[in-house]
Structure 1
Amino acid sequence: HSTHGQGELVCKKPFPSMPIGFWHDEKAQKYQEAYFQKFPNVWAHGDYAELTAHGGLIIYGRSDATLNPQGVRFGTAELYQVVLQVPGIRDCIAVSQDWQNDTRVILFVQLDEKTDWTPDLQKLLASQIRQQLSPRHVPAKILPVRGIPKTMNGKVMETAVKKLIHGKTLDNIAVIVNPECLEDYMHREELSLD
């Protein structure tokens, strides 16, 4: 097997566990949008992966959660692994923001009850990311929030946060178990495009 770097995980042929449709989607419109919109007649599950030289597959996370500032591509999971080790950080979420004909990474952090947001904590987070990953992984902005939006099964809602920081409305707030935290992501002066 040869490797060609990381890319979208796709299936060109049907497979046994492939869903055949969605409930209440008689015309298969939602099904087509979910899996076949990215590439015609090719199943794209939405995961970012790499085929190794030994035939293994490394899954890096959701392709819609992949960050790509200045052409450097990495998954949010890499950031989370470092950030969540920092004392005082309860949870975090990272998204890309369209910025000056490119993108920049915005990291939101939820602090534990005993921790205050300070410039020193912000510097510590940037330093840990720089040391454990690379200077290119350091987010352009690191901002505190009261909560991280999640689904009922605990999945962080990166796509929702990305929409909010770009001024878009969310289609389905009902899937978010803690919608009260969403206003922390809207109309942030620090994220102004001016």
Structure 2
Amino acid sequence: GNSVRNQVGEFVVTQPMPSMPLYFWNDPGNERYIETYFSDYPGIWRQGDYFMMDDDDGCFVLGRSDATLNRYGIRIGTAEIYRSVEALPEVADSLIVNLELPDSQFYMPLFVKLQDGISLTDEIVQKINAKLRADYSPRHVPDHIYQVEEIPYTLTGKKMEVPLRRILLGHSVEKAANKDAMSNPQSLEWYVNFRDTQTAYRYE
């Protein structure tokens, strides 16, 4: 990439700085550390935030890029999706990812945990899609909606969007997620099985 001004871009660091962690705990060979910060731009630290610098050297951190879905050039905040979907009485929780696939294709599945005793039906799918379209735009409508028993969370209560995206794109759980930092590590088993058995997208 190129350095730009007055445009939103990825926050990257090309030289060492004091606040950089040196390594992760229990990460032999620094595999997870490198995967987290250096896999997108080899040798360059990717912070995971959108950033802008203006002509007066004013700096603006504009939110997490890994919590933003970039779908065909349209930036969609995952919080927008959750605010809309989880306002429906049938939905208890949700998680969405956008998978960048070969040949410049995208696949955006939405995983929903429904209230006890409710199963995902065509009517509920249509209701979710209609609400996203009405609240935001057709670009916010997922490619498919899947019912799950659990949404993976960290111990601090954050939805694990980035680790799940990596798992769905073929990374091992060990490289994509730190189970010791999860409140429900067993939840990942469903998503691994989904990845290995689904036919909706090709990630290799």
| Common fold by TM > 0.5 | yes
**2: distance between equivalents of 1:112 and 1:47?**
33
> Which residue of structure 1 lines up, in the alignment, with residue 87 of structure 2?
85
> Which residue of structure 1 lines up, in the alignment, with residue 71 of structure 2?
69
Gaps of 5+ in 2: none
* C-alpha displacement of 1:132: 1.0
SS of equivalent residue, structure 1 residue 59: strand
Q: Which moved more, 1:166-175 or 1:151-160?
A: 166-175
Question: What is the correspondence of 1:79-158 to structure 2 with a 5 Å cutoff?
Answer: 79-99=81-101, 101=103, 102-158=105-161
Write the deviation string for residues 8-54 of structure 1: whole angstroms up to 9, x where unpaired: 124567777x24534669xx957973545655776532123456899
2:167 to 156, 164, 169: 164
Q: Is residue 22 of structure 2 the alignment partner of residue 21 of structure 1?
A: yes
AA paired with 2:168? I
User: How many residues are treated as equivalent by the alignment?
Assistant: 190
> Which residue of structure 2 lines up, in the alignment, with residue 7 of structure 1?
9
**2: distance between equivalents of 1:122 and 1:52?**
43
Q: Which moved more, 1:100-109 or 1:180-189?
A: 180-189
SS of equivalent residue, structure 1 residue 68: strand
Q: 1:100 and 1:44, CA in 2 relative to 1: closer, same or farther beyond 3 A? A: closer
AA paired with 2:201? L
**2: distance between equivalents of 1:149 and 1:11?**
30
What RMSD, in angstroms, separates the aligned Cα atoms of the two structures? 3.5
> Which residue of structure 2 lines up, in the alignment, with residue 44 of structure 1?
46
Q: 1:127 and 1:9, CA in 2 relative to 1: closer, same or farther beyond 3 A? A: same
AA paired with 1:186? V
Q: Is residue 85 of structure 2 the alignment partner of residue 60 of structure 1?
A: no
**2: distance between equivalents of 1:100 and 1:116?**
33
Identity, % of aligned positions = 31
SS of equivalent residue, structure 2 residue 201: coil
* C-alpha displacement of 1:82: 1.4
AA paired with 1:193? Y
1:192 to 179, 190, 200: 200
**2: distance between equivalents of 1:183 and 1:140?**
22
Q: 1:69 and 1:30, CA in 2 relative to 1: closer, same or farther beyond 3 A? A: same
Gaps of 5+ in 1: none
Q: 1:15 and 1:135, CA in 2 relative to 1: closer, same or farther beyond 3 A? A: same
Q: Which moved more, 1:163-172 or 1:120-129?
A: 163-172
Tell whether the 8 Å contact from 1:51 to 1:58 is kept in structure 2 after alignment: no
Write the deviation string for residues 88-133 of structure 1: whole angstroms up to 9, x where unpaired: 2111111123456211211101112143322111111111111111
> Which residue of structure 1 lines up, in the alignment, with residue 184 of structure 2?
178
**1: distance between equivalents of 2:123 and 2:62?**
34
Q: TM-score, normalised by structure 1?
A: 0.75
* C-alpha displacement of 1:150: 0.9
Q: TM-score, normalised by structure 2?
A: 0.72
Q: 1:39 and 1:113, CA in 2 relative to 1: closer, same or farther beyond 3 A? A: same
Tell whether the 8 Å contact from 2:152 to 2:182 is kept in structure 1 after alignment: yes
